[in-house]
Amino acid sequence: MAPNKIILRFGENTSDQPIIYRLVKDYDLVINILKANVNPNKEGTMVLELTGEKYEEGLGYLRDQGIRVQPLAEEVFRNEDRCISCGACTGICPTGALSLERPSMEVKFDSDNCIVCQLCVKVCPLKAMEVRF
Amino acid sequence: MAIEKTYAEINEKIKSGKAVVLTAEEVIGLVEEKGLTEATRQVDVVTTGTFAPMCSSGVFLNFGHSKPKMKMQKVWLNGVPAYSGIAAVDAYLGATELPEDDPCNNNYPGEFRYGGGHVIQDLLMGKKVKLEATSYGTDCYPRRELETYINLDDINEATLFNPRNSYQNYNCGVNLSNRVIYTYMGVLKPNLGNAHYCSAGQLSPLLNDPYFLTIGMGTKIFLGGGIGYVAWNGTQHFPEIQKDAAGNSYGPSGGTLSVVGDLKQMEANWLLGTSFLGYGATLSVSIGIPIPILNEEVMRCVSVSDRDLYAPIVDYGEAYGQRLPSDLGFASYAELKSGTITVNGKKIPTAPLSSYPKAREIAAILKEWICKGDFLLTEPVKLLPSYRDGIQSKKLEIRGL
């Protein structure tokens, strides 16, 4: 079963709750937190990969708690016109989604392995890696 | 009898379409197969290439005169200051210059999304660029300020002039410290987490003419997708033979080139505005240099492979910035390209900053130009200093009166 990538948006009254614990304990979901953030107004966002048989029940629980659940439409995209295959991104990408093909030394981007951490977006000297919503 | 060819003879062969041209990558196999003498006999020109960030780059611009005329004491292009302490309506825009309102590294690590190099790329793309200027006013140049938009076609001259490009070789950067560092060699992870290098290795121009037997003042080159020339040696031109503590030789290093060319005939995809997180803005420059095979010695030099060329491994965590000696050894370009090297007994992943695929493309384009008879070789007016000249780098000591 392929993991679903979703964004959770927590209000001020939910960002201090142990929501993830309940997803694991009560719904037996496998969770990979890609990104988490709480802003000064105590509102939070979290990007997750979720897998498990009780996935839909888990989402129902989240909605019952007043948490907005959205599919992750955000993806990292390579602007082929700007990329010169320098390779600077390949050592920084944590999942190997960006890698060097040998012996051609061309940079390959496998978006299936991308977890949208966006490190490449910051590191690419040519600004060839872009985020799309 | 030893083979000796002249520039004139090689150019005659180019003109008649009979010249044999190989790239620096292709010639390696030929020399291995046929031997030095036969390869020297067969091949007339070997082409090289490199495409990487080269900070010491910029463009001289002449904007033409406004009505009334103006001296242009201070100049900005899209908010990026250009140096105008030269003749009226001339300015030099440096690739690493930043907009005056850039937060720089105050918002560490700074993003440096726009700088002089990006303005140069915008000009090449035909975009309109905002020109602002102020001055004090004189009898012959009465105007005190102006604001207008220019593009590359509107202005008189745009001369790319890069005082230090095409480094013969470069460091392989690592980080021995325990924090992430943001360098011109990219983001280096703590505790030897990664290693970055920046050279086309066996395709790199000055690694293929390590003793400056052919490259000199007036050498015609591929520059930014168009034609350029070597103007002089670059700044910090310290050609030498690298040696380790035991005196073992690790090949040439340290030469640089000063290059010049008309920006108007260059192409936007071969000169690219570049940003280094936490470090600054710059320009990625493409350079290709033809090497005439004058004799066996030149052929021996151009037939080097990544196995024969070495980069010194340097700690950017402390040693580099503090000007301390760094004794981490050397890595061959073959090892660097393989994806891992071993430093202080630890296997660490490597990544390049210089595009090898683009270097290969540049060498191929230059080869095509020569084969078609469009590009003749120039004999240098003056060759550049080599390791034999023993140039030593000077250090700047901080002294009081």
Model pLDDT for residues B306-346, shown as the tens digit of each residue: 999 999 999 999 999 999 998 899 999 999 999 999 999 99
- Cβ contact, residue pair B272, A91, below 8 Å: no
pLDDT over 70 for what percent of chain B? 100
User: Which tens digits make up the pLDDT trace of B85-144?
Assistant: 999 999 999 999 999 999 999 999 999 999 999 999 999 999 999 999 999 999 999 999
Instruction: Report, as an integer, the average pLDDT of A75-103.
Output: 93
The alpha carbon of residue B352 is apart from the nearest alpha carbon of chain A, in Å, by 5
Closest approach of A114 to chain B, Cα-based (Å)? 19
Ramachandran category for residue B200: left, alpha or beta (phi over 0 → left; psi -120 to 50 → alpha): alpha
The widest CA-to-CA distance across chain B, in whole angstroms, is 72
Question: How high is the ipTM of this complex?
Answer: 0.91
Beta bridge partners of B252: B241
pLDDT digits (tens, 9 = 90+) for A92-118: 999 999 999 999 999 999 988 888 888
Q: Specify the long-range contacts of residues A56-64, CB closer than 8 Å, at least 24 apart.
A: A57/A27, A58/A23, A58/A27, A58/A29, A59/A6, A61/A22, A61/A23, A61/A26, A61/A27, A62/A8, A62/A19, A62/A23
**Chain B residue at shortest CA distance from A128:** B274
Q: Which residues of B touch A86 (CB under 8 A)?
A: 51-52, 284, 352-355
- Given CB atoms, is A95 within the 8 Å cutoff of chain B? no
State chain B's mean pLDDT as an integer. Answer: 97
| Interchain CB distance below 8 Å, B275 and A87 | no
Report domain extents, chain A: 4-71, 77-132
User: Given strand A44-51, what is the order of strands in its sheet?
Assistant: A30-38, A44-51, A4-10, A68-71
What are the pLDDT digits (tens) for A20-51? 999 999 999 999 988 888 888 888 888 888 99
Tell me how close the Cα of B289 comes to any Cα of chain A, in angstroms.
20
Inform me whether the C-beta atom of residue B356 falls under 8 Å from chain A C-beta atoms. Answer: yes
Active site residue B140: yes
* Rounded (5°) CA angle B111-B116-B117: 80
Interface mutation target, options B55, B174, B187, chain A, most CBs of A under 10 Å: B187
User: Chain A residue with minimal CA distance to B285?
Assistant: A84
The percent helix, strand, coil of chain B (3-state, each to 5) is: 20, 35, 45
Q: How far is CA A64 from CA A11, A22, A68, B299, in A?
A: 13, 13, 10, 76
Predicted pLDDT at B81: 98
Nearest CA in chain B to A81: B269
pLDDT band at A1 (very low <50, low <70, confident <90, very high): low
Contact B355 A81 (CB under 8 A): no
Q: How far apart are CA B380 and CA B221, in angstroms?
A: 12
Which 40-69 residues of chain B touch chain A by CB within 8 A?
51-53
Tokens of residue A32, six digits: 């990979």
Contact B272/A at CB under 8 A:
yes
Give dist(CA B169, CA B310) in Å, integer: 8
Distance from CA of A102 to the nearest CA of B (A): 8
SS3 category, A64:
helix
> Given an 8 Å threshold on Cβ–Cβ distance, is A88 in contact with B353?
yes
Cβ–Cβ contact A41 with B under 8 A: no
How far is CA B365 from its chain centroid? 18
- Nearest-CA distance B180 → chain A (Å): 11
Candidates B105, B275, B316, B360: best to mutate against A (most CBs of A within 10 A) is B275
Q: What are the start-end ranges of the E strands in B29-86? A: 45-47, 50-53, 58-62, 74-77, 80-82
Question: Long-range contact list for B80-87, CB < 8 A, 24+ apart?
Answer: B80/B114, B80/B115, B80/B116, B80/B119, B82/B116, B84/B133
* pLDDT tens figures, B221-275: 999 999 999 999 999 999 999 999 899 999 999 999 999 999 999 999 999 999 9
Shortest CA distance from A88: residue in chain B: B353
pLDDT value of residue B190: 97
CA distance B209 to B378: 15
According to the 3-state scheme, what is the secondary structure of B271-308?
A: EEEEEECCCEEEEEEEEECEEECCCHHHHHHHCCCCCC
Q: Which residues between 277 and 296 in chain B have a beta carbon less than 8 angstroms from any beta carbon of chain A?
A: 277, 284
Please indicate whether, in this complex, the C-beta atoms of B357 and A125 are within 8 angstroms of each other: no
pTM: 0.91
pLDDT, position A40 = 86
**Cα(B74)–Cα(B55) distance, integer angstroms:** 22
Q: Give me the catalytic one of B55, B104, B140, B198.
A: B140
Q: How far is CA B345 from CA B63, B107, B317, B341, B348, in A?
A: 57, 36, 18, 10, 9
Q: Which fold has domain A4-71?
A: Alpha-Beta Plaits (3.30.70)
Contact (CB<8Å) B351/A88? yes
pLDDT reading at A54 higher than 80: yes
B187 reaches A (C-beta below 8 A) = yes
Is any Cβ of chain B less than 8 angstroms from the Cβ of A131?
no
Provide the pLDDT for residue B257: 98
Residue A25: its H or E element: helix A19-27
Assess contact for B316 and B324: CB atoms under 8 A.
Answer: no
Q: Are A84 and B51 inside 8 Å of each other by CB?
A: yes
The yes-or-no answer to whether A4-71 and A77-132 have a common fold is: yes
**Dist CA A35 CA A8 (whole Å):** 10
Residue A71 confidence class, pLDDT cut points 50, 70, 90? confident
pLDDT at B124: 98
B353 touches chain A (CB under 8 A): yes
Q: Do B276 and A125 touch (CB under 8 A)?
A: yes
Site from A95, A105, A119 to mutate, B interface, most B CB atoms within 10 angstroms: A105
- A127 contact B CB<8A: yes
What is the average pLDDT score of chain A?
89
| B154-209 residue pLDDT tens | 999 999 999 999 999 999 999 999 999 999 999 999 999 999 999 999 999 999 99
Mutation site, B277, B307, B347, B353, interface A, largest A CB count within 10 A: B277
Q: Which of these CATH numbers, 3.30.365.10, 3.30.70.20, 2.30.110.10, 3.40.50.300, describes A77-132?
A: 3.30.70.20
